[in-house]
Amino acid sequence: MSDVDARPSPVLEEKVLRTGQGVRVVWRAEELSRIHGIDLGALVWRRPADEGTRRWLETLDPDALPSLRVITPVEAVPRLLAARRPGNAGYEWDVLTRDIIRLAHAFGDLVGGSHLRLRLDVVTTNACRRYHMDRVPLRLVCTYRGTGTQFGPGRPGRDPDPRFMAPPWSPLLLRGIPGEVGDCPGIVHRSPPIEGMGETRLVLVLDPVSCPDAHAVKGVP
């Protein structure tokens, strides 16, 4: 059973549409709210990468890639990213941060909360190699560098069939445990196994935070 590659672009859409097992592909931000449908466990917003920014990220050493883990109000995300702007940053940094801000606002609208947990992770190992469901109502994952998240219908701990891969720069929305609708289709996912392959991934993860005041420290480990 092979992964679905991001190229050529029609492959993911054709396979998802053919199987129709709790997964949908959309092409516009306005369609992200479809994830709330009772028949969906995952949704991919298919969109092209900014090629200049993609190439720039590929040239950076892992230690130079941006990294951030924080619980924050949605409206504070621009300030947090601006504070981490490298001195030699150019157009590519602006494209990346504008996209992260856009996704943070879109995700905040979906979950209806004022705060979110934002992780921008640099991954060089097998971060989560077992297929699983997250214990959050909804999660957004967007890979900016490297192989995208693998997912599909199935049970935690088992390989899904069919199995998909979210293309880079295409945000993946995943319903978790407990889901917003109890009988939504079970879609499991994992980080692709890359350890020992010399690959570095840059991954954005957004989670809702229901009680931000309960966190004495805003940064999360």
Residues 159-215: tens digit of each pLDDT: 877 788 899 999 999 988 754 444 556 888 888 876 667 789 999 999 999 755 544
Whether 6 has a pLDDT exceeding 60, the answer reads: no
Enumerate helices (H) and strands (E) in the chain, giving the number of each: 4, 10
Which CATH code of 3.40.50, 1.10.150, 2.60.120, 3.30.70 fits the domain covering 10-214?
A: 2.60.120
User: Structure tokens of 4?
Assistant: 């679905």
Domain boundaries, the chain: 10-214
Q: How far is CA 15 from the centre of its chain?
A: 20
User: Which amino acid is located at 168 in the chain?
Assistant: P
Across residues 136-161, what is the average pLDDT?
Answer: 88
- Which has the higher per-residue pLDDT, 65 or 19? 65
C-alpha span between 173 and 189 (Å, rounded): 11
Residue 107: predicted pLDDT: 97
Alpha-carbon distances of 155 from 1, 100, 165, rounded to whole Å: 16, 30, 17
C-alpha span between 160 and 158 (Å, rounded): 6
pLDDT classification of 7: cutoffs 50, 70, 90? very low
Residue 31: predicted pLDDT: 94
| Strand spans (E) along the chain | 23-26, 42-45, 68-73, 115-123, 138-145, 150-153, 164-165, 172-175, 187-190, 201-208
pLDDT tens track for 29-54:
999 999 998 788 899 999 999 999 99
**pTM of the model as a whole:** 0.84
pLDDT tens track for 51-76:
999 999 999 999 989 999 999 999 99
pLDDT tens track for 73-115:
999 999 999 988 877 778 999 999 999 999 999 999 999 988 9
